[in-house]
Amino acid sequence: MARPKIALIGAGQIGGTLAHLAATKELGDVVLFDISEGTPQGKALDLAQCGPVEGFDAVLKGTNSYADIAGADVCIVTAGVPRKPGMSRDDLLGINLKVMKSVGEGIKEHAPNAFVICITNPLDAMVWALREFSGLPHHKVVGMAGVLDAARFRHFLSVEFNVSMRDVTAFVLGGHGDTMVPMVRYSTVGGINLPDLVSMGWTTQEKLDGIVQRTRDGGAEIVGLLKTGSAFYAPATSAIEMAEAYLKDQKRLLPCAAYVDGAFGLDGMYVGVPTIIGAGGIEKIVDIKLNADEQAMFDKSVDAVKGLLAACKAIDPSLA
Ligand code: A3D
């Protein structure tokens, strides 16, 4: 059987890391696409030369032509610009919306059967626009944010509790922005939820609140340190987890920016919710019950995403 084909649209910091991870995990052959001439070709050649040392079999190709993504099984989109210190994700909307138009059209023409994972910010609006421009079915176009935000939450919790990261589970829902909703009640250490751990005296409510806020600010903390761009290792590995779930039909339950129509009281928009990813793409949205506080935070986050969608429609009337 032929190897799966993974097309990476955008060969920048995240795109290069995605290519490395996809090759080392032997998820398939990799095509790196970018508008910058030489960048995807150079990265593909450099990464291919890791093969003999790391012992993987994958063909890596760099290109500036959409024709080379033909027949891709998975497309992961990072094309666009990242933020710099002082910028919010929303400041990227104008530039990245235009990029989503060309990427959506490229995927529509050359890889209409792919499972598409968008990473470009502002995430919830860009994945919606990409779906609109590509015309692919909603369950085959998804945004990566929740896996990353949950990983940040899990990391901070494992440090606080001094336990293995493997034993910490967490959920972060809502839009991928300042209003994201780390779900304290549904996050656990070895199955014990965080409110119970506070009652047991293992941490304090104040420390937990601090970790929740640090999770919300997790992207900005890294932008502030790097100064020239945003996080790329953890975003890449998070998207690879989603791609692997699709390619291997793993039925993983992962928080993703998915198209929600009916669940959570929403009527047709992309926002971060728990989903099941398998060979069918987004196979299910897990409509968990929120309490009044969680619902209020989720509603606020949904409103923030709706504001971005309105901004997209104002910029590009074809989306209205
Ligand atoms: P960067 O290293 O700048 O790579 C972006 C690449 O896109 C560059 O190589 C550009 O040449 C290329 N590009 C620009 N326009 C086009 C186009 N029209 N077609 C194809 N390629 C194009 O950025 P990065 O890899 O660090 O980040 C990429 C995106 O991911 C940014 O929008 C970030 O804000 C976003 N991001 C999202 C998350 C989430 O959790 C959702 C996390 C981190 C970064």
pTM of the model: 0.98
Where does the pLDDT of residue 90 fall: very low under 50, low under 70, confident under 90, or very high at 90 and above? confident
Could you give the percent of the chain with pLDDT greater than 70?
A: 100
DSSP-derived secondary structure letter, 6: E
Residue nearest to atom 38 of ligand 1 (CA): 119
200 Cα–ligand 1 center, Å = 43
* Mean pLDDT for the stretch of residues 208-227: 96
Q: What pLDDT score does 209 carry?
A: 97
What kind and span of H or E run contains 244?
A: helix 233-247
Residue-averaged pLDDT of the chain: 97
Ligand 1 pocket, residue 107 CB under 6 Å: no
pLDDT at 89 over 90: no
**Encoded tokens for 30:** 């990799």
Q: What pLDDT score does 285 carry?
A: 98
DSSP 154-217: HHHHHHHHT--GGGEE--EEB-SSTT-EE-GGG-EETTEEHHHHHHTTSS-HHHHHHHHHHHHT
Site to probe by mutation for ligand 1, drawn from 81, 97, 116, 147 as the one with most ligand atoms within 8 Å of Cβ, is 81
Where does the pLDDT of residue 298 fall: very low under 50, low under 70, confident under 90, or very high at 90 and above? very high
Where does the pLDDT of residue 315 fall: very low under 50, low under 70, confident under 90, or very high at 90 and above? very high
- ipTM for this model: 0.99
pLDDT at 87 over 90: no
pLDDT at 83 over 90: no
Task: Give the number of the atom of ligand 1 that is nearest the alpha carbon of residue 126.
Answer: 32
**Encoded tokens for 169:** 């589970």
Q: How far apart are CA 233 and CA 247, in angstroms?
A: 21
Annotated binding site for substrate: 83, 89, 121, 152
Our answer to whether residue 176 is catalytic in this structure is: yes
